[in-house]
């Protein structure tokens, strides 16, 4: 049977932003492989995406609108579904703050911003903060004036790479390939992580650090650099250097190393990376910001890279990320006013319960917050108290179970869009390869129809016009015709961020942290930090509804204090002040003794989500969610 090949692209919440070759056989058979012509994808993709056709054809996929009836759901037509949603919106139009919009990153792309446009124009309540990386973004903007980094391929010019906790084996296989290539060219890779994880696979050495305490290690290295005396060009580029030096003078190096549990020998190895000749690149993981002082962790690592003269040079730089939407003009913001209020994502359940006036219409898309956010049970209870809840979903997730109306969305390869990456500078064209399954529809299409059905209509621009507007900025000197023909185009961005140590602040200088906060002590009854890290086999909570039963696994060091007195021959429970759940235990000498490592993404109803045990806490910057500041223990 002949096959057809179409260039498309990944629209999932993943940093790599891959370009695809999608093969179809005319009988719903579909295969996804990496585009060999794409300079970052380079012909391969992760196993998660290679298995995506299973998700498209899964027998439990929702393929028609569903309306709650008692404790269950019944199928309804699209006309009836949108009529019900429009009626609720019309009834609340005079008090738009009683409507709320919660949107995540699982529906990515230019056209996927349709719901943001609709509810922005309506003036609905929105959300603030993030479950992911906002603390690090805010830290980068504070330090450098903008979120930017060198081109990913510039890692190949590094003499050394210091990786602060980024497990690219689970979250970015193309950066993993670059690290392997850099090592083959002679670069030395030093990784710093509380869990070891997959870092040993691509590192010459892995240093264990106490969870959440990276800032003390970076501060000790900054102190040593300042005692040696920064280079003249670094001193000229640093704002507030004397105050920063005074801050560090008040901290003893031995005490800083004790705070992060790093030996003087290991510290010397790290310091050597930043004082040796030749450029040192710094990777900042997407986990060390998920602590109460997470933004401060990132700021001290940024300070170390900048004070060593390794920012603004080829082969150096700090790699935290870039905005995946930076290549696009944000059409969805046009016509939208400021939201009347914002609900904090990190404590969304409590915020909904305490909202005054109450939320009477809630729309959720691109997210499974009941499974993904702390305080899962509180959020589920809060959703049931909202007057009418619409969830855009393809599966009966923990969040969809709380809905009054479920709208089935088209998935990747079933809709057209444009996408960027938070790692590379390419713009990818995501072609629609086949029609959506059943009655599923592209979210842009049904949001546009919902807007037209309102008593006072909100009219979205034509989809083609939205795509054209998105490409009207200075970084994209090309149009849709070229993108459709080639499948991807390179946007205009410098290969070296902040070249020559010229930063994006008005004075052109970088900033340094103004405080170094102590880490809260571990209560004796809760000796460990619960680290819910990325899973190798699934992306966030996008797992099959028939997820394997049985307790999830956690990994601990053989020296973990919880093992004393624990009978591993009996059932083992992971416990926090919020409750406990059954787990299976795996010993891993690479895990710090004060950490319990779990892999996130399981569902609450399967007993595999850890978020019901995590108390809502907020990071110091960006409204980020401090998942990893949760204290825990193991018990029988």
Contacts of 601 (CB under 8 A, 6+ apart): 371, 535, 538, 539, 540, 541, 542, 543
Strands 631-635 and 572-576: antiparallel
Which of these ranges, 14-18, 138-142, 321-325, 542-546, has the smallest mean pLDDT? 542-546
Does this model's pTM top 0.85? My answer is: yes
Give the count of beta carbons closer than 10 Å to the beta carbon of residue 197.
Answer: 27
The answer regarding whether domain 528-635 maps to CATH 2.40.40.20 reads: yes
Assign 38 a pLDDT band (cuts: 50, 70, 90).
very high
Q: Could you tell me where the beta strands, DSSP code E, fall in 295-384?
A: 318-319, 342-344, 361-365
Query: Dihedral sign, CA of 150, 152, 158, 160?
Result: positive
Q: Which of 513, 490, 494 is nearest to 504 (CA)?
A: 494
Q: CATH 3.40.228.10 in the chain, residues?
A: 134-323+497-501
State yes or no: pLDDT of 361 exceeds 90.
Answer: yes
Contacts of 287 (CB under 8 A, 6+ apart): 165, 531, 533, 534, 628
State yes or no: pLDDT of 3 exceeds 90.
Answer: no
- Count of CA atoms in the C-beta half-sphere (13 A) of 99: 25
Assign 369 a pLDDT band (cuts: 50, 70, 90).
very high
pLDDT tens digits along 63-122: 999 999 999 999 999 999 999 999 999 999 999 999 999 999 888 899 999 999 999 999
pLDDT of residue 1: 60
pLDDT tens digits along 445-502: 999 999 999 999 999 999 999 999 999 999 999 999 999 999 999 999 999 999 999 9
Query: What average pLDDT score do residues 162-167 get?
Result: 95
pLDDT of residue 197: 67
Q: If DSSP codes are grouped into helix, strand and coil, which group holds residue 560?
A: coil
Q: CATH 2.40.40.20 in the chain, residues?
A: 528-635
Q: What is the mean pLDDT of the chain?
A: 95
Assign 542 a pLDDT band (cuts: 50, 70, 90).
confident
Q: For residues 84 and 328, is the Cβ–Cβ distance under 8 A? A: no
Task: Give the rounded percent of residues in the chain with a pLDDT score beyond 70.
Answer: 100
pLDDT of residue 543: 84
**CATH among 2.60.40.420, 3.40.50.740, 1.20.140.10, 3.30.70.360 for 66-128+329-416+440-457:** 3.40.50.740
Give the count of beta carbons closer than 10 Å to the beta carbon of residue 125.
Answer: 24
Query: What average pLDDT score do residues 190-201 get?
Result: 88
Query: Dihedral sign, CA of 220, 223, 225, 228?
Result: negative
pLDDT of residue 12: 93
Residue 606 backbone class (left: φ over 0; alpha: ψ -120 to 50; beta: rest): alpha
Q: CATH 3.40.50.740 in the chain, residues?
A: 66-128+329-416+440-457
The C-alpha torsion from 320 through 321 and 323 to 327, rounded to 10°, is: 140
| Fold (topology level) of 134-323+497-501 | Dimethylsulfoxide Reductase; domain 2 (3.40.228)
Which uninterrupted H or E stretch holds 163? strand 160-164
């Amino acid at each position: 049977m002949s096959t057809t090949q179409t260039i498309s692209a990944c629209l999932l919440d993943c940093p790599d932003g891959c370009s695809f070759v999608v093969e179809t056989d005319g009988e719903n058979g579909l295969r996804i492989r990496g585009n060999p012509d794409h300079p970052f994808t380079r012909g391969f993709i992760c196993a998660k995406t290679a298995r995506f056709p299973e998700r498209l054809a899964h027998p439990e996929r929702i393929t028609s609108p569903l309306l709650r009836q008692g404790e269950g759901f019944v199928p309804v037509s699209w006309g009836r579904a949108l009529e019900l949603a429009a009626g609720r919106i019309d009834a609340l139009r005079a008090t738009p703050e009683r409507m709320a919009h919660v949107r995540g990153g699982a529906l990515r792309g230019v056209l996927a911003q349709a719901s943001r446009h609709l509810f922005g124009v309506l003036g609905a309540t929105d959300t603030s903060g993030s479950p992911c990386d906002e603390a690090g973004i805010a830290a980068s903007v504070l330090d450098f004036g903008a979120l930017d980094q060198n081109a990913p391929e510039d890692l190949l010019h590094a003499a050394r790479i210091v990786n602060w906790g980024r497990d690219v084996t689970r979250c970015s296989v193309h950066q993993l390939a670059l690290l392997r290539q850099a090592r083959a060219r002679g670069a030395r890779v030093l990784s710093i992580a509380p869990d070891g994880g997959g870092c040993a696979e691509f590192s010459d050495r892995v240093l264990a650090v106490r969870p959440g305490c990276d800032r003390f290690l970076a501060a000790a290295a900054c102190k040593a650099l300042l005692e040696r005396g920064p280079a003249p060009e670094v001193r000229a580029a640093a704002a507030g250097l004397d105050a920063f030096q005074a801050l560090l003078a008040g901290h003893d190096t031995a005490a800083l190393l004790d705070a992060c549990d790093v030996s003087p020998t290991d510290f010397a190895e790290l310091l050597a990376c930043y004082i040796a000749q030749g450029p040192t690149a710094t990777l900042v993981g997407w986990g060390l910001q998920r602590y109460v002082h997470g933004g401060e962790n990132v700021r001290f690592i940024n300070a170390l890279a900048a004070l060593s003269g390794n920012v603004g040079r080829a082969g150096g730089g700090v790699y935290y990320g870039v905005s995946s939407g930076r290549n696009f003009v944000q059409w969805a913001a046009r016509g939208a006013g400021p939201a009347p209020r914002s609900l904090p994502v990190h404590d969304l359940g409590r915020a909904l319960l305490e909202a005054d006036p109450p939320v009477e219409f809630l729309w959720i898309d691109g997210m499974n917050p009941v499974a993904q956010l702390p305080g899962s049970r509180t959020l589920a209870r809060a959703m049931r108290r909202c007057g009418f809840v619409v969830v855009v979903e393809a599966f009966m997730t923990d969040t969809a179970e709380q809905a009054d109306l479920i709208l089935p969305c088209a998935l990747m390869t079933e809709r057209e869009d444009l996408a960027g990456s938070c790692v590379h500078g390419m713009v990818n064209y995501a072609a629609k390869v086949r029609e959506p399954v059943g009655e599923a529809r592209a979210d842009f299409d049904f949001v546009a129809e919902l807007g037209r059905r309102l008593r006072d209509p909100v009219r979205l621009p034509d989809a083609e016009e939205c795509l054209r507007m998105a490409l009207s900025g200075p970084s994209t000197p090309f149009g849709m015709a070229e993108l459709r023909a080639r499948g991807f185009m390179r946007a205009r961005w410098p290969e070296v961020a902040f070249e020559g140590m010229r930063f994006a602040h008005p004075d052109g200088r970088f900033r340094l942290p103004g405080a170094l906060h102590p880490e809260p002590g571990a209560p004796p009854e809760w000796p460990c930090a619960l680290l819910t890290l990325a899973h190798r086999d699934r992306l966030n909570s996008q797992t099959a509804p028939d997820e394997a039963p049985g307790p999830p696994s956690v990994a601990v060091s053989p020296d973990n204090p919880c093992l004393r007195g624990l009978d591993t021959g009996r059932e083992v429970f992971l416990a926090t002040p919020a409750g406990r759940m059954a787990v299976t235990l795996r010993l891993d000498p690479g895990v710090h003794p004060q950490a319990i490592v779990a892999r996130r993404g399981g569902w609450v109803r399967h007993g595999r989500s850890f978020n019901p045990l995590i108390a809502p806490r907020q990071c110091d910057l960006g409204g980020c969610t401090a998942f990893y500041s949760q204290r825990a223990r193991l018990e029988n």
